[in-house]
Amino acid sequence: MSEVNPNLTQSPLSQLYETLTYTQPGDHASERRGRLAAVILLLIEVVMVFVLIGQTIQLFTDPEPSTARLTRLLVGYGLAAVWLGIYFFNRRGLTEAAGIAMSIILLIVTMVLISNTGSLAPAVTTLILPVITAGLFGPPASALGIAFLTVFTYLIFNIIISPTYLGELFTGGETSQTLFVYAITIIVGLVSWVFSRTTYRAIEEKQELTVALTTQRETIMARLQTQTRQFQATISVARNIVGSRNLNNLLEDAVTSIREAFGYSHVQIFLTDEDQTYAVLRQSTGSTGQSLIERGHRQEIGSSNVIGHAAATGQAIVARDTDQDILRKHNELISETRTELALPLSIGERTIGVLDLQSISTDAFDENSLPILQVLADQLAIAIENARLFEEAEENLQELRDVSRETAQRSWQEFLADASEDDVHQTYGPEPEGLRIQRSRIAEKVLGSGSAIISSGEDGKPVYLAVPVVVRSEVIGVLGVEPDREREWTQEDLQLMQSIAERTSLAVENARLYIQTQRTAERERIIGTIAERLQRAPSLAMLLETATRELSAALGTDNVYAELSMEHPLARRRKSVSEASELKESPPEAGEDTAEPGETEEARAEL
């Protein structure tokens, strides 16, 4: 919506008034006094012009004009010119000077009027006009000055008229009545001076208050603009880092964004180690920061520097003069720094690092910017913690995937080891030797790459489509198809094959689990049956005989051996060594019984 010019809505009389009473812009009180002075000057000027015009007409119509009359007319025109000059003087904003000039001219006119009417005529009351005029439009002291000048002029005028005036002034005659004129003039001067001074003081206080309010408003606006820019910069930085899941990329983006958004000369991020002993530099600005990182730059937590102190206390630390502050250690690689701010990166009560901001300006970090920067540090801490948790979750998930893959590989290896060739390789239709070899090569490629493959024939046209069968991220097989005529495989065909492969993988995995479950149940049944029969054996020899017989039946072999020995393991080991030595020295003849005495303590059975 456009603004409306106020002058366009004023009436012609209002516009004329504004034009005639215009004074150069100043403070509000000066402008109002200037307009009032302009009104009085214009009114007097208009009256004088009408009077002069009338006297001029009379002068030209008088057949014998007198010289005195002509002189008064010329003086009148001169006075009108002076009055007009004061009016233009006032328009330039010099109202006080114009007020003094008005007072002096009014004093002159009043004295001329009194000289024509007498010192005790009613016209004497007009002596207070110059005093009031000086009090209204001149400086405060001008009211007293014009009052004393008026009294002095009136006194001189009376002395000139009557040389014995001073002697008769206090005798009680008519002359003593002029004392009232002096008193009234002085009183009016004092009142005008007090009023003008009080008004000036009120105006000065108002101006001072206005200036103070204006300054405060400008300060608040500047602070608000600064905080707004900082908030916008904080939002921009947060937007750049909030979506990052890689910790290194997050730290790099944070350092770059903070430096560009806030204009700091150097930005660093320290993260605490696992032992909470050191704050280790993880990201810094430019080649200088890279040099510090390569050096393994770190600060001990709790040490006497801004980084260690902020990491230990969890509070922001400001070094406002890096040359004098004892908490700021000099670094030859960042020698231009003048102020430094260390902000803790905190998650609850736990400090995970420090955001270090450095500037070449001496007043870069004021009290108003600290809360905003701390909010930025808190957002960065949350982003770092989220990135860490994300990386840990990714590592755990990868470990689970690896374990799941290894488990799947081991399970399928065990399953396929017991499966027949017909169970693991199924084809539909004829399979010539050449086609079998080609299919084998394609299957190897699919098993190795884990992705779908469309093979090409001699003419370059696709002839074979194969997709992997994947279970728990492990490729366990291949599902392929070869058209019986020329055909271009479409994306829909590929999607169909992949969907069937997915469902095949689920069905195959379920079948494997079912078969292995059956095998496990059968094994447990056999173990339970053998254990039950062993428990019913009447003697030790029968127990061993039963164990070997059941194992032979379960494992499908006739060579099963079982032996129990009651000797101490150490004695048995010594006996075995002795027997081995004897056999080496004198090998037994064929058919010789090598059993030792005491072998009755052993029970042995062989089937």
Query: In this structure, is residue 179 part of a structural domain?
Result: yes
User: How far apart are the C-alpha atoms of 262 and 230, rounded to whole Å?
Assistant: 7
Residues with Cβ within 8 Å of 307's Cβ and at least 6 positions away in sequence, in order, are: 270, 279, 299, 342, 354, 356
Find the CATH number of the domain harbouring 511. Answer: 3.30.450.40
Express each pLDDT in 79-106 by its tens digit: 888 888 887 877 887 878 888 888 888 8
Strand 317-319 relative to strand 561-564: parallel, antiparallel, unpaired?
unpaired
Closest CA to 35 of 146, 133, 137, 139: 137
User: How far apart are the C-alpha atoms of 204 and 496, rounded to whole Å?
Assistant: 91
Tokens 């009294």 locate to 151
Q: Is the pLDDT of residue 574 over 70?
A: no
Q: Is the pLDDT of residue 576 over 70?
A: no
Domain boundary among 340, 373, 393: 393
- Same domain for 164 and 44, yes or no, is yes
- Same domain for 254 and 324, yes or no, is yes
- Same domain for 389 and 432, yes or no, is no
301 vs 402, more confident: 301
- Same domain for 371 and 436, yes or no, is no
- Same domain for 450 and 313, yes or no, is no
pLDDT at 577: 61
Strand 474-481 relative to strand 278-284: parallel, antiparallel, unpaired?
unpaired
- Same domain for 273 and 337, yes or no, is yes
For 456, phi then psi, to 5°, come to -115, 145
Residues with Cβ within 8 Å of 544's Cβ and at least 6 positions away in sequence, in order, are: 562, 563, 564, 603, 604, 605
Q: What is the three-class DSSP state of 521?
A: helix
Closest CA to 286 of 258, 256, 263: 256
What is the sign, positive or negative, of the torsion defined by CA atoms of 28, 34, 35, 40?
A: positive
User: How far apart are the C-alpha atoms of 253 and 176, rounded to whole Å?
Assistant: 97
Express each pLDDT in 453-494 by its tens digit: 776 665 555 667 788 888 777 777 787 777 766 777 778 878
Query: In this structure, is residue 116 part of a structural domain?
Result: yes
Alpha carbon 227 to its chain centroid, in Å, reads 10
- Same domain for 200 and 316, yes or no, is no
From the CB of residue 97, how many other CB atoms can be counted at a distance below 10 Å? 17
Looking from the CA of 189 toward its CB, the CA atoms found within 13 Å total: 20
Question: By residue range, what is the domain housing residue 479?
Answer: 428-527
Q: Is the pLDDT of residue 544 over 60?
A: yes
Q: Is the pLDDT of residue 331 over 60?
A: no
Express each pLDDT in 297-313 by its tens digit: 888 888 878 888 888 88
Rounded to the nearest integer, the mean pLDDT of the chain is 76
pTM > 0.75: yes or no: no
Using the 8-state DSSP alphabet, how is residue 2 labeled? P
Residues with Cβ within 8 Å of 395's Cβ and at least 6 positions away in sequence, in order, are: none
Token pair, residue 425, equals 């390789």
Asked if 423 contacts 454 with a C-beta cutoff of 8 angstroms, the reply is no
Q: At how many degrees (to 10) do helices 370-417 and 178-241 cross?
A: 10
User: pLDDT tier at 326 (50, 70, 90 boundaries)?
Assistant: very low
- Same domain for 274 and 206, yes or no, is no
Query: In this structure, is residue 217 part of a structural domain?
Result: no
- Same domain for 349 and 470, yes or no, is no
Q: Is the pLDDT of residue 512 over 70?
A: yes
Tokens 């420090």 locate to 354
Token pair, residue 361, equals 């300006």
User: How far apart are the C-alpha atoms of 453 and 467, rounded to whole Å?
Assistant: 6
pLDDT at 603: 36
600 vs 553, more confident: 553
Query: In this structure, is residue 87 part of a structural domain?
Result: yes
For 282, phi then psi, to 5°, come to -110, -30
Domain count, the chain: 3
From the CB of residue 372, how many other CB atoms can be counted at a distance below 10 Å? 17
Provide the percentage of residues in the chain whose pLDDT is more than 90. Answer: 0
- CA distances 213 to 113, 205, 338, Å, are 50, 12, 33
Express each pLDDT in 413-448 by its tens digit: 777 777 666 666 666 566 666 566 666 777 777 777
- CA distances 437 to 434, 441, 443, 457, 529, Å, are 5, 6, 10, 14, 47
Q: Is the pLDDT of residue 4 over 80?
A: no
Query: In this structure, is residue 129 part of a structural domain?
Result: yes
- Same domain for 378 and 454, yes or no, is no
- Same domain for 66 and 199, yes or no, is yes
